[in-house]
Amino acid sequence: MKNYIVICLLLIFALPVFAQRALTLDECKQLALQNNAKVKNGALEIKASRQTRKAAVTKYFPSISASGAMFESQKNLMEISTNGGNLPVYDGKDLSSLLTTKLFAYMPASTMGLMKSGTFGMLTAVQPIFAGGRIWNGNRLALLGEDVSEQKNKLSQNEVILRTEEQYWQIVSLNEKFKTIQRYEEMLNSLSAQVEDAYKSGMVMKNDLLKVKVKRSEILLNKSKLENGKKLAAMAFCQYIGLPYDSTLILSDSLVIDGVPQSYFVDHTEALKNRSEYSLLQASVRAEELQSNMKLGEYLPQVAIGVSGLYMKLDESKDRTLGMVFGTVSIPISGWWEASHSLSERNVQEQIAKNNMKDNSELLLLQMQKAWQDFTDAYKQVLLSEEAKTQAEENLKVNQDSYNNGMSNLSDLLEAQALQQQMNNQLTDAKAGYRKNLVTYLQVTGR
């Protein structure tokens, strides 16, 4: 029975452990990309631009239209009236006799009505032959719009990934700091027990005991603040990646330095070609060129051919069906004067786009250079922090031995313990900075 109770207690205490969910950095990135509203909207914009491109393709095919009309008028729309009078009688032999005949027949006046009712129907198909290049350029502009949507969505994904990594490493660094403060607390607890025993034995003054208690109170306060910060960071992170808040969530990756900066370096001029921002700059120039071609097409002749079928029935007459083939040519003669100014304006817009591309490309190169410098500085900070941590640990060991041997006072030992905690936190911050600057450099170099 006793063994049964022990097993049950072990299972109860083990349940929270089994309920914990562990997530890697890559899993968090995937969740963020799946649940982020901006990325979702970007995917929808791609679908919309794809439909726009498909709609532009239909301009290559004939446009077909149908129309019909039916009317019933209160009165005849047309009337033909004839005056009455005597008409010469033809004898059936010589037409010239009509001029001299003395025989006449009386014709009374009359009125004939037309188009009191009717039905019309028309079906027309028009195939553009030449539209000034607007159909061709319109399709290329729609295809460019689809590519722009894809590049913008890629930028949104990069932004989400960067933000996810920043929050991920922030929580990991807070966890590391929490472990550090726990170790510091354990040292103070041990030191507190040692000083209290010494105080009871009359070996130290009460002032030393109070110093340790003050330090413990300070550590407890910092620990409480750190716990609150961890919780808030975890709540924000869960909301960002689209998960409900879970206090037992574990982040599996650790703050490790997996390579020197030189192993990640690439030629920035070549890397510029892989940037989505650079692709968008190129697209802006291309879009202005296509807009200029579209504007030019408005002032060129338009040629089309077509076929049409007509159904018609008026009044009581028999219905009729007619067919015809036609061609049209439209030349905007009066628009040529306007064209000289409109096309000059388009040339100016093209030059503006090219200037913007050149200027922003240089800014992208500067951004890559700055990211590289920040990355190398972060690596140097890690090396310096590791060295400082080693020195702080050695300093604590020396002070601990000196205090145990009665060669140094308590204040020196407390200061050495605080310095070690500070150096541990500094190293944690340096590693987190390294990871952040690494992903930033990878992104700004198109990776």
Pair 166, 25: CB distance under 8 Å: no
Q: What is the pLDDT of residue 127?
A: 92
For residues 402 and 356, what is the distance between their CA atoms, to the nearest angstrom? Answer: 67
Closest among 256, 255, 238 to 247, alpha carbons compared: 238
pLDDT at residue 91, as a whole number: 66
Please determine, for residue 114, whether its predicted confidence score (pLDDT) is greater than 90. Answer: no
The pLDDT of residue 198 is 79
Which pLDDT value is given to residue 65? 93
Cβ–Cβ < 8 Å for 13, 226: no
Average pLDDT (92-104) is 68
Q: Which of 170-179, 194-203, 212-221, 391-400 bottoms out in mean pLDDT, i.e. has the lowest?
A: 194-203
Whether residue 323 contacts residue 122, with contact meaning beta carbons closer than 8 Å, is answered with no
Q: β-pairing, 250-251 with 22-23?
A: parallel
- 318/284: higher pLDDT: 284
Closest Cα partner for 392 from 427, 417, 366? Answer: 417
**Cα separations (Å) of 367 from 180, 230, 253, 373, 447?**
35, 32, 28, 10, 14
pLDDT at 435: 93
DSSP annotation string for 152-209? HHHHHHHHHHHHHHHHHHHHHHHHHHHHHHHHHHHHHHHHHHHHHHHHHTTSS-HHHH
Instruction: Delimit the domains of the chain by residue range.
Output: 20-72+116-444
Q: Is the pLDDT of residue 83 over 90?
A: no
Give the count of beta carbons closer than 10 Å to the beta carbon of residue 99: 8
Express each pLDDT in 47-60 by its tens digit.
Answer: 999 999 999 999 99
**pLDDT confidence of residue 6:** 42
**Residues 6+ positions from 126 with CB-CB distance below 8 Å:** 62, 63, 64, 65, 304, 305, 306, 328
20-29 mean pLDDT: 87
What is the mean pLDDT of the segment spanning 62-67? Answer: 93
Closest CA relative to residue 137, chosen from 367, 293, 357: 293
Tokens 């400082």 locate to 388
Return the pLDDT at 387.
Answer: 95
Q: Identify the residue with better confidence: 278 or 94.
A: 278
Distance CA 359, CA 365 (A): 10
List beta partners, residue 68: 121
With 0-12 / 13-18 / 19 or more C-beta atoms within 10 angstroms meaning exposed / middle / buried, residue 307 is middle
Judge whether residue 18 has pLDDT over 60. no
Q: How many CB atoms lie within 10 A of CB 36?
A: 21
Residue 304's pLDDT is 93
Residue 276 has pLDDT above 60, yes or no: yes
User: How far apart are alpha carbons 4 and 98 in whole angstroms?
Assistant: 140
Strand partners, 125: 64, 307
Does residue 431 register a pLDDT over 90?
Answer: yes
Residue 143 has pLDDT above 70, yes or no: yes
**Residue 322 · residue 334 · CB < 8 Å:** no
Res 4: pLDDT: 45
Distance separating the N- and C-terminal Cα atoms of the chain:
62
For residue 114, is it left (φ>0), alpha (ψ between -120 and 50) or beta? beta
Mean pLDDT of 410-418: 89
**Average pLDDT over the chain, rounded to an integer:** 87
CB 306 within 8 A of CB 125: yes
Confidence of residue 204 (pLDDT cuts 50, 70, 90): confident
Kindly report the three-state secondary structure assignment for every residue of 199-210.
HHCCCCCHHHHH
Does the pTM of the predicted model rise above 0.75? yes
What is the DSSP annotation of 371-434?
A: HHHHHHHHHHHHHHHHHHHHHHHHHHHHHHHHHHTTSS-HHHHHHHHHHHHHHHHHHHHHHHHH
We find that the CATH architecture of domain 20-72+116-444 is Up-down Bundle (1.20)
Tokens 């603040």 — which residue? 225
What is the mean pLDDT of the segment spanning 285-309? 92
Q: Is the pLDDT of residue 420 over 80?
A: yes
